[in-house]
């Protein structure tokens, strides 16, 4: 299932969401134009084996890794999800708090993956964990919204309006199941995808978003 648009506009200009998208694109440009893109990635990616939780000097990749991407399809799909769901969440909790919320979810998502693969030397990159947090918040605040979704039916692509709660809960359980399957199989990822980061980010967003909203309403 691939979302096309949601049924409810935010009602305010999502300048933080757009700024995050723009910054991701900017960093991706630096990445692909770097003389040595692999070196560029290794400098800012989260490589679990190089991180020590008791050494703050090794924590920076938890932040920088969420602005790197593995290719055009990776960044396009991530930014598309952020474009569709981020504006409503930003309008709900406020612009500055949305930025802090996004970063918080991204860090917690990476941590959720890291604790299962602390010895891995494979780089973890991408905004997927932070965006998963945005999806979790969207489910918390807008479960009754509908999402026009591209669904293959008997091999034909059809656009069907699906409740946000159905689509996002389905997405979460797929990520969680795939993530724990990868741990049981003693692999760091399935198909190069950090499923536990997705599930961890989503759970973080769902559980923590009311706290950000509560602070706004005080």
pLDDT tens per residue across span 15-54? 999 999 999 999 999 999 999 988 999 999 999 999 988 8
Kindly list the distances between the CA atom of residue 1 and the CA atoms of 75, 96, 160, 166, in Å, as whole numbers in the listed order. 18, 31, 10, 11
Distance from CA of residue 34 to its chain's centroid?
Answer: 24
Paired with 190 in beta bridges are: 193
- Give the phi and the psi of residue 61 in degrees, each rounded to 5: -60, -20
Q: What is the pTM of this model?
A: 0.88
Locate 135 and state its tokens: 């999806």
Question: How far, in whole angstroms, is CA 113 from its chain's centroid?
Answer: 13
Cβ neighbours of residue 160 closer than 8 Å, sequence gap 6 or more: 148, 149, 151
Mean residue pLDDT across the chain: 86
pLDDT at 214: 61
CB 125 within 8 A of CB 213: no
At 140-169, the pLDDT tens digits run 999 999 999 888 888 788 888 999 988 888
Domains with residue ranges and CATH for the chain: 2-217 (1.20.1540.10)
CA atoms within 13 A on the CB side of 8: 17
Whether residue 84 contacts residue 3, with contact meaning beta carbons closer than 8 Å, is answered with yes
């Amino acid at each position: 299932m691939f979302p096309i648009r949601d049924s409810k506009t935010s009602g305010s200009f999502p300048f933080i969401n757009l700024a995050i998208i723009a910054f991701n694109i900017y960093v991706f440009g630096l990445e692909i134009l770097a003389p040595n893109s692999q070196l560029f990635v290794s400098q800012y990616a989260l490589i679990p084996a190089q991180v020590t939780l008791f050494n703050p000097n090794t924590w920076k990749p938890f932040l920088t890794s969420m602005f790197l991407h593995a290719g055009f399809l990776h960044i396009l799909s991530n930014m598309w999800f952020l474009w569709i769901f981020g504006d409503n969440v930003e309008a709900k909790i406020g612009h500055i708090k949305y930025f802090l919320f996004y970063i918080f979810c991204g860090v917690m998502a990476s941590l959720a993956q890291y604790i299962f693969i602390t010895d891995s030397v494979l780089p973890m990159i991408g905004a997927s964990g932070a965006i998963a947090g945005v999806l979790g918040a969207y489910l918390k605040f807008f479960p009754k919204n509908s999402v026009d979704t591209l669904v293959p039916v008997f091999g034909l692509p059809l656009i069907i309006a699906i409740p946000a709660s159905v689509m996002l809960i389905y997405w979460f359980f797929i990520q969680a199941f795939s993530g724990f399957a990868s741990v049981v199989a003693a692999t760091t990822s399935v198909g190069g995808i950090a499923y536990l980061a997705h599930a961890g980010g989503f759970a973080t967003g769902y559980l923590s978003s009311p706290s950000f909203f509560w602070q706004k309403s005080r």
